[in-house]
Structure 1
Amino acid sequence: MSGGAATASAGSPPVSDEPAASGSSTAAFGRFDLTGRVALVTGATGVLGGEMVRGLAAHGAKVAVLGRNAERAEELAAGLASEGYEALATPADVLDRPSLERAREAIMKRFGRLDVLVNAAGGNMPGATLLPGASFLELGEEPMREVIDLNYMGTVLPIQVFGAELAKGGHGSIVNISSMAALRAITRVVGYSAAKAAIDNLTRWLAMEFGRQYGGGLRVNAMAPGFFIGNQNRRLLLEEDGSLTARGRTIIDHTPLGRFGEPEELVGTLVWLCSDASRFVTGVVVPVDGGFAVTSGV
């Protein structure tokens, strides 16, 4: 579908580029509908990325599933298709520009447009994390470079490859994934923290740059998830029997809502940032953290 107003399927609120009528709650609700939009999620084969893909599809978007593991990407896309959603597997490495360019070609061939980019690829690496009793002064150089490359350049390259297509439709949205580690000093995860802090700065800088270049045609925001159990942090936060580790207990005690997040709890904020409901919002980093970031611990 080419640029312009997208049409909704039967029974769905319309997606429109026209401002909602003042006081119209029905029109305001329709702003959250993504019918007719095409969304790409990198890192989509991970726990959080996969939930984001499902959430965007459930709100009407056609979705492209991008991850390094081709089999898992195909599996997820096929599962979504079996539920009646439009989904395309686009295996690629966010640090490999040619593979991203091939993914772009596949998306444009299948859908003809791209409206949303969610940069969910990333993660920590053991070598860039201080072990108990270790010194920062002895931390290896190569693991630090790798974790910064994965999280920072793994966000920069997709934006460069897909940005022009996002701007064409007039309501493009980029959502980067930050972290509590960017907002608060968290022990041990030094490389990951630095990379995610760079994402926050990149988000604000691109919001300014793209706002000047495209007006409201391409917005850039970020989400900063709190603590969600995934494959990378499970052993740090939970014992084998499912009870909390000492680190897990410290985090829960510092979280006003008193628990870890559930992956689906990221979807509401994500849909808001991807949709016309946030059409005047750019350059913000939204915590989804149960209150962790605002708590002093005292």
Structure 2
Amino acid sequence: MGKVVVLTGAGGVLCSTLAEAMAKQGHKIAVLDLKIEAAQAVANNINESGGTAIAVMANVLEKASLEAAKEVVNSKLGLCDILINGAGGNHPLGTTSNPHLLEADLENTAEGFKTFFDLDPEGIKFVFNLNFIGTLLPTQIFAKDMVGRKGCNILNISSMNAFTPLTKIPAYSGAKAAVSNFTQWLAVHFSKVGIRVNALAPGFFLTDQNRTLLTNPDGSLTQRGQQIIDQTPMGRYGEPEDLISTTLYLCDDASSFVTGVVIPIDGGFAAYSGV
């Protein structure tokens, strides 16, 4: 019998792929996203393929919005068995222009140029809230359905730069490190009530958020994009489908003794020293 799976940020490239994969396993899918049109498109694809899915608007930073979403999920699909916290992202205001600080940077007055000293606290707060609070609040709301029931689990989305921070994006790196730490904390906290908690740590996947940073309009790699490929032993970006098998394993009862792990899916990026 299929379980009820709730995915946040499920209108995006990666989590929509996971939603469709979970639906093919016979699960009932609640596609949550701030953009209801994107969520509806994913739900339509699932339903047209013979699966069961509903689209629900939810703001992962507003508890009232999540509570309203939970009422819809419970009334249309039932109690939540699996929660995938997929909402997240970065913001330009939490990003430096250069990977390293040079003395000359302090005199750079070019529009939009940012050193570490110019980072906007509001931009940093946005990134931390979206990734960490945007994982914590949905867990508070939907994990209540799981307490004391068998086969329930939570899957968070961390990042390989939670292990080793990337240059230029201190807010995102720190926020994802918080997600990894929170995953371990939750695994221990929920261990007595039958809820497992694990996380994926994707490497570099081309998404709508990073495509312009990693590729040029003609499809060739930017300098940063080439650096990433050179640092990835498998020599390519990840495909959304690369996340499916690990997701299915962690969300399945086959991993019933696995909790508190953060699994890199990065083509060997985190393991490579560059030498």
Deviation per CA, 1:85-122, whole angstroms, max 9, x where unpaired? 01011111000111111111111111222110000000
- Structure 1 residue runs of 5 or longer lacking an equivalent are 1-6, 8-35
Equivalence for 1:276: 253
Q: Give the superposition deviation at 1:297.
A: 0.4
Matching residue's letter, 1:236: L
Q: Does 2:21 align with 1:55?
A: yes
In 1, Cα distance between equivalents of 2:78 and 2:85: 20
Per-residue CA deviation, residues 141-171 of structure 1 (Å, 9 max, x unaligned), is 1100111001000000000001110234321
Deviation per residue, 1:209-266 (Å, 9 max, x gap): 111x31xx20000000000001111111101111111111111111111100000110
Partner residue in 1 for 2:237:
260
CA distance in 2, matches of 1:207, 1:73: 29
Instruction: Name the residue aligned to 1:163.
Output: 143
Asked if the contact 2:80–2:143 (Cα under 8 Å) also holds between the matched residues in 1, the reply is no
- Asked whether the equivalents of residues 156 and 179 of structure 2 are also in contact (C-alpha less than 8 Å), the reply is yes
Tell me which amino acid in the other structure corresponds to 1:203: T
- Counting only pairs closer than 5 Å after superposition, residues 125-204 of structure 1 correspond to structure 2 as 125-132=91-98, 133=105, 134-204=114-184
Query: What are the Cα deviations for residues 19-74 of structure 1, in whole angstroms up to 9, with x where unaligned?
Result: xxxxxxxxxxxxxxxxx211011000011111111111112211000001112212
Q: Output one character per residue of 1:167-210: Cα deviation in whole Å (capped at 9) or x when no partner.
A: 34321110000011211121001110110000011000110111
Residues 195-214 of structure 1: pairs in structure 2 closer than 5 A? 195-211=175-191, 213-214=192-193
Q: Which moved more, 1:143-152 or 1:51-60?
A: 51-60
Which amino acid counterpart does residue 250 of structure 2 have in structure 1? L
Structure 2 residue ranges without an equivalent (≥5): 99-104, 106-113
- Are 1:64 and 2:41 matched, yes or no? no
**Within 2, Cα distance between the matches of 1:234 and 1:78?**
25
Residue 55 of structure 1 aligns to which amino acid in structure 2?
A: A
Spell out the pairing of 1:104-119 with structure 2 (5 A cutoff).
104-119=70-85
The match for 1:16 is: none
Task: Give the TM-score normalised by structure 2.
Answer: 0.93
* CA deviation vs aligned residue, 1:276-298 (integer Å, no higher than 9, x gap): 11110000000000010100001
Structure 1 distance, partners of 2:124, 2:9, is 20
Kindly provide the amino acid, as one letter, of the partner of residue 46 in structure 2. Answer: L
Question: Quick one: which amino acid aligns to residue 174 of structure 2?
Answer: A
Residue of structure 1 aligned with 2:219, choices 233, 242, 247: 242
Counterpart CA distance in 1 for 2:48 and 2:216 is 36
Percent identity between matched residues is 48
How far off its partner does 1:138 sit? 2.0
Please name the residue that 1:295 is paired with: 272
The residue matched to 1:90 in structure 2 has which SS? strand
* Inter-partner Cα distance in structure 2 for 1:188 and 1:77: 36
- TM-superposed CA distance for 1:76, in Å, is 1.5
Answer whether contact 1:236 1:248 (CA < 8 A) is retained.
Answer: yes
> How far is the alpha carbon of 1:75 from its aligned partner?
2.0
Contact 1:113 1:169 in 2 (8 A): no
Letter in 1 for 2:118: E
